[in-house]
Amino acid sequence: MEAQERWQNLVTPLNAAIGLLELEAEAPLRRDVEIVCQQLMHPVFRIAVFGPFNYGKSTLLNALLGERALPIDLIPTTGAAILVRYGVTLSTRIRLHNGTEIEDAGTEILKQFAILDDRRRMREDVASVEVFCPHPFLQTGVELLDLPGTDDQEAQDALVKDQLLTADLIVQVLDGRKLMTLGEREHLRDWLLDRGIETVVFVVNFLNLLELDEQKQVANRLRFVAESFRAKLPMGISNLYRVDALPALRARLKGDMAAAQMAGLPLFESALQSIVQNQQTQQVARLRKVITIAQQVKTLLQDRTTTISTELATVAEKQQKKAEIRQKAHRLITQGFAACLTEFRLWLDRTHLLETYQMEAALALQQGTFRTWETGAFKATAIDHQQTVIKWVHQACEFFDHPRPAQLLIGFPSISDSPSTPNASSPSATPERAASTPDSVAPTAIATGLGWALGGPIGAAVLGGASYLLNRTSPSTSSPLHPSTAPSAPSFQTHLDIAQHYLSHFSALNLATLQRYETTAAPVMQFQPEAIEPTPQHHQLRLFQTTLENLEQGLGQALEE
């Protein structure tokens, strides 16, 4: 597999991964990814000069170019990233954010667009600044990047930090009079090393302003700096040089090679040329930055994937516990429902009703208190059974979110207590079928049949159409000529028979009603475990996992080089 193909196999999933990480806190990392991926295919070798304000960066570049191409002054002035490229003549091109391009011969126009204003701020309308210079070093495919000074304004620092990633070689300028301040060490760590930038050359300026003894002390400290930072440079190339920038520029402008040699410029130029000629160093340096940043993105992806997985596992655990609770509730409800149905059926059983209530009902009929008996303990017991059955059904409806079925209505057959006189001409006449005599005592009716649900009356129903007639006579004038025609009171056996008929009808009627209700309530008792449907979070997790796998594969191929 060719190098470009391997790089593309890393760049593609890297861009996909950073697209998933959309939090505002990750915006700087997203910007780093964009920069290093673009630079990976950039054909030109870029050298960026970097350091705090007033360290002589622009002066050093002018010394390399052999002319005052970049603005320099006693006051720090560079307020833009100035890219110096090869051109037949010295000229400048300014691009503004509104699309306007301004081209001008020479570099005087830089004083208008590339220096800080009175409040030491960069111009906000400038998109890019390019200087074209006819220098042989630039003609070899090299471009120089003059960056604003650091440690002054937040906007300048952000610009410098971004631009450092676009460079193949960093020249960090140090001030020999205050070697490696805390801020410089932090930038070395945070802006360079932590972002995979290890092709760094240190250039110490202003040593010519120190006494010889002080220069020796600084030289010892410089060796410590060089040894503590292991730069990734071609074999035999040092990472530390002394260049007195202003004397070097003056010597170059005068053509004084000896003075330039004393200022340290030729040795530094030779090192730059050797680094540029080593194309392998360029590609490895670029790839190293991509790998370093890709590993940071990988860590974020892993963290995010773990977070989503944990959240989904928590949800799944809650759903499992909920399902277990519902299954347990279903088991308890169905068991309770079946048990109360069995108890109600046993109570409604004809044999049980006759054994328990026939004698009571017969006595009540004989005493004329049947309605009081029926609406007393007998009805209360029926309603208790009814409410128990309904309670379990309603619990199932609420727990499993089902609509309630039709109510369970308990029916009570009708009984009429009416005086009647047997027809003497009909030997088959019985008290139950005797025709009523309007002239006899006025009839008294006892009728029941209230339906109950949830412990309270909701209506009345007379079910079955049963009506039992009692023959009850009152004293009447009898003729001594016809003593046999006087009516007689019904026997207690008759009351027992009526009570038997009533209870048998009550049993059959309500057992059938209970059977229908059980059939109606059956769907309510059904429980289906909830299927766990994939949520957007499940799809998000899968996307993160796939992207992470692709990124790891791309990193593995890149690290094989």
- Supply the pLDDT for residue 455: 31
Out of 155-164, 310-319, 411-420, 487-496, which region has the weakest mean confidence (pLDDT)? Answer: 411-420
236 and 176 within one domain: yes
56 and 205 within one domain: yes
50 and 21 within one domain: no
Q: Residues 293-350: pLDDT tens digits? A: 899 899 988 998 999 999 989 888 888 888 888 888 888 999 999 999 999 999 999 9
What's the mean per-residue pLDDT of the chain? 81
Proportion of the chain above pLDDT 70, given as a percent = 82
Domain stop point among 245, 277, 309 = 277
Q: Confidence class of residue 66 from pLDDT cuts 50, 70 and 90? A: very high
108 and 7 within one domain: no
Residue 311 CB coordination number (10 Å): 12
- Supply the pLDDT for residue 489: 64
| Cβ burial, residue 482 (10 Å; 0-12/13-18/19+) | exposed
* Residue 253 belongs to a domain: yes
What's the CATH code of the domain at 178?
A: 3.40.50.300
Q: Is 234 helix (H, G, I), strand (E, B) or coil?
A: coil
540 and 449 within one domain: no
Tokens of 458: 């909701």
Q: Is the pLDDT of residue 42 over 80?
A: no
Rounded to an integer, what is the distance from CA 103 to the centroid of its chain? 51
- Supply the pLDDT for residue 456: 31
365 and 248 within one domain: no
Count of domains in the chain?
Answer: 3
Helices marked H in 368-418 = 370-373, 379-400
More confident position, 431 or 218: 218
> d(Cα 310, Cα 300) in Å, to the nearest integer?
15
Q: With the CA atoms of 186, 120, 171 and 74 taken in that order, what torsion angle do they form, in degrees rounded to the nearest 10?
A: -120
Half-sphere exposure of 553 (CA within 13 A, CB side): 11
Q: Residues 168-220: pLDDT tens digits? A: 999 999 999 887 788 888 888 889 888 888 899 999 999 999 998 898 888 88
* Residue 161 belongs to a domain: yes
* Residue 501 belongs to a domain: yes
- Supply the pLDDT for residue 391: 94
109 and 37 within one domain: no
105 and 13 within one domain: no
Give strand pairing partners of 169. 47
> d(Cα 261, Cα 252) in Å, to the nearest integer?
10
Q: Which amino acid is at 533?
A: E
* Residue 483 belongs to a domain: no
* Residue 448 belongs to a domain: yes
Taking residues 479-495, report their average pLDDT: 61
> d(Cα 504, Cα 225) in Å, to the nearest integer?
110
Q: Is the pLDDT of residue 425 over 50?
A: no
368 and 251 within one domain: no
* Residue 339 belongs to a domain: no
* Residue 293 belongs to a domain: yes
- Supply the pLDDT for residue 481: 37
69 and 214 within one domain: yes
- Supply the pLDDT for residue 329: 87
168 and 260 within one domain: yes
- Supply the pLDDT for residue 502: 94
Domain that holds residue 150: 44-277
378 and 304 within one domain: no
* Residue 481 belongs to a domain: no
